[in-house]
Homo-oligomer: A and B are copies of this chain.
Amino acid sequence: MALCSVFLNLHLLLFVCLTKEALGVAKPSVASYLSQEILAEQEADRVHGLPGQPPVKFKQYAGYITVNETHGRALFYWFFEATHKPEQKPVLLWLNGGPGCSSIGYGEAEELGPFFPQDSSTPKLKLNPYSWNNAANLLFLESPVGVGFSYTNTSSDISELGDTNTAKDSHTFIIKWFRRFPQFRSHKFYISGESYAGHYVPQLSELIFDNNRNPAEKDYINFKGFLIGNALLDDETDQKGMIDYAWDHAVISDGVYNNITTICNFSLPILNQTNECNVELNKYFAVYKIIDMYSLYTPRCFSNSNSSSTRKEALQSFSKIDGWHRKPAGYDPCASDYTEVYLNRPEVQKALHANVTKIPYPWTHCSDNITFWNDSPQSMLPVIKKLIAGGVRIWVYSGDTDGRIPVTSTRYTLRKLGLGIVEDWTPWYTSKQVGGWSIAYDGLTFVTIRGAGHQVPTFTPRQALQLVRHFLANKKLPSQPI
């Protein structure tokens, strides 16, 4: 099934960069009304310091929430209270995608979390000054089971994974997480994520939304909205946008472009494409074996490490001097190697209360165990329409130098929604420089981030923190130099 293999390729490529996490509500200090049992549970998850960690003033918690007792399915989370006044801050869940990729591997350790593992023979973490826990109480979840430290004791669960049960388990996680951290229950709750989390986030949002409308439901969640970036939203437009973007950005030949646009029909389901189309698509994918599909203008990592990173095909001698185009903010294309080494250290796992069941494979950014995905709707637009109608705040953003789910794709996708324009294409500013553009639709805001790859907070950390602050405050980004 050649076409099928292409679709697998799409997902396997996604494995390079995604993560996710579940929801939560938490208060700064342990409130007096909390029971001894709750206090003990929280204290058991309290992380008192990680190997190589710089000192911080905020609290952090990590551990497991069992989402299915019978099967022994448990999801791993890592939660950071906000750096200042956590009692006044919302709770923000971050989810990476894949499907099959870890939100602590990407989101926490390389994008928007407080701690970035460093290249060092001893465990070493660098504090990220643009961590999103400057803006919110920040929760990362490894989901579904089989991803990172999340596990199941029923191996058949792994072969039954898909969007539906991922959303259900994540929903169960959130409910139970709020039970464990009831001091955050009244806080406003938001969900964020990138890439394949363009599926996870709306799907999870819909479950919470529906549950909240059930008056019999006791686990009300104060859910307000979601923020998704470089998000897989609609197969047809996402794929059309990818191909157009690759030609426009001069990474594929006229011939490959013309053949794909002539032969392939992306309005058909992916599995119904012809073999001829797949042959051409494979030529397209070949380009991204030599440059970083997720960030067109940055270098790839060539390291000597023994990392089993999904970028391992690139392992060659790496010179620090040869940091061609390395970003001044400190972007290091080998960051994933450092993360993988760090999270596989037994002392780190112990400090995080992770891997308590001795999972029989190492921690990886993206699961090597998940090889089948049961259900993946062709479009998220119906769910998004429903949630817009329900008054959920929705912001979509796009780092505009990502080739995987490029800005062209997202623009084509949003055009399909047919929403009215409240404020058309407007620049927004970080200091005196343009951060990108935004367009306010009736019910949805779209923001581009200039010069950012797929993992926007990695490439433009300052702009990303500004973005999330404005999203949480429901405030328009500044349209003049500041």
Cα distance A35–B153 in the bound complex, in angstroms: 93
Cα distance A430–B322 in the bound complex, in angstroms: 10
Partner of A255, one of B316, B325, B425: B425
Q: Does A193 contact B (CB under 8 A)?
A: no
Interface string of A369-405 (1 = CB under 8 A from B): 0000000000000000000000000000010110000
Within residues 419 to 473 of chain A, which ones have a CB less than 8 A from any CB in chain B? 424-425, 427, 430-434, 436-437, 439, 448, 450-451, 462
Cα distance A328–B433 in the bound complex, in angstroms: 18
Chain B residues with Cβ under 8 A from A249's Cβ?
A: 248-249, 400, 407
Q: Does A123 contact B (CB under 8 A)?
A: no
Taking a contact as CB atoms under 8 Å apart, the answer to whether B408 and A248 are in contact is: yes
Taking a contact as CB atoms under 8 Å apart, the answer to whether A253 and B324 are in contact is: no
Distance to closest chain B CB from A284 (angstroms)? 11
Taking a contact as CB atoms under 8 Å apart, the answer to whether B448 and A250 are in contact is: yes
Taking a contact as CB atoms under 8 Å apart, the answer to whether B451 and A325 are in contact is: yes
Taking a contact as CB atoms under 8 Å apart, the answer to whether B253 and A433 are in contact is: no
Partner of A439, one of B253, B407, B462: B253
Partner of A322, one of B327, B431, B434: B431
Interface string of A243-264 (1 = CB under 8 A from B): 0110011111111100000000
Taking a contact as CB atoms under 8 Å apart, the answer to whether A415 and B297 are in contact is: no
Taking a contact as CB atoms under 8 Å apart, the answer to whether B411 and A250 are in contact is: yes
Cα distance A95–B170 in the bound complex, in angstroms: 61
Cβ-closest chain B residue relative to A449: B250
Q: Does A299 contact B (CB under 8 A)?
A: yes
Q: Does A323 contact B (CB under 8 A)?
A: yes
* With known contacts A297-B401, A450-B291, A450-B297, A431–B324 Cβ distance under 8 A: yes
Q: Does A300 contact B (CB under 8 A)?
A: yes
Within residues 202 to 259 of chain A, which ones have a CB less than 8 A from any CB in chain B? 244-245, 248-256
Distance to closest chain B CB from A177 (angstroms)? 36
* With known contacts A302-B432, A328-B323, A425–B297 Cβ distance under 8 A: no
Q: Does A326 contact B (CB under 8 A)?
A: yes
Distance to closest chain B CB from A331 (angstroms)? 10
Taking a contact as CB atoms under 8 Å apart, the answer to whether A326 and B324 are in contact is: no
Taking a contact as CB atoms under 8 Å apart, the answer to whether A324 and B433 are in contact is: yes
Cα distance A168–B410 in the bound complex, in angstroms: 51
Taking a contact as CB atoms under 8 Å apart, the answer to whether A248 and B248 are in contact is: yes
Q: Does A296 contact B (CB under 8 A)?
A: yes
Taking a contact as CB atoms under 8 Å apart, the answer to whether A296 and B451 are in contact is: yes
Cβ-closest chain B residue relative to A283: B425
Q: Does A290 contact B (CB under 8 A)?
A: yes
Chain B residues with Cβ under 8 A from A287's Cβ?
A: 427
Taking a contact as CB atoms under 8 Å apart, the answer to whether A253 and B291 are in contact is: no
Partner of A316, one of B253, B408, B432, B448: B432
Cα distance A30–B326 in the bound complex, in angstroms: 44
Cα distance A249–B450 in the bound complex, in angstroms: 9
Taking a contact as CB atoms under 8 Å apart, the answer to whether A290 and B462 are in contact is: no
Cα distance A297–B400 in the bound complex, in angstroms: 10
Chain B residues with Cβ under 8 A from A244's Cβ?
A: 248
Chain B residues with Cβ under 8 A from A290's Cβ?
A: 427, 434
Cα distance A439–B257 in the bound complex, in angstroms: 15
Taking a contact as CB atoms under 8 Å apart, the answer to whether B430 and A324 are in contact is: yes
Distance to closest chain B CB from A52 (angstroms)? 26
Taking a contact as CB atoms under 8 Å apart, the answer to whether B250 and A437 are in contact is: yes
Sample (19) of A-B pairs whose CB atoms are under 8 Å apart: A249-B407, A250-B400, A250-B408, A250-B411, A250-B448, A253-B424, A253-B425, A254-B415, A287-B427, A296-B450, A296-B451, A302-B432, A322-B431, A322-B432, A322-B433, A324-B430, A325-B328, A325-B451, A327-B328
Given contacts A250-B437, A291-B434, A300-B433, 7 further A-B pairs with CB under 8 A are A250-B398, A250-B407, A250-B436, A253-B424, A254-B415, A291-B427, A324-B431
List 7 tightest A-B contacts by C-beta distance, closest first.
Answer: A253-B425, A248-B248, A297-B451, A250-B407, A250-B400, A250-B448, A291-B434
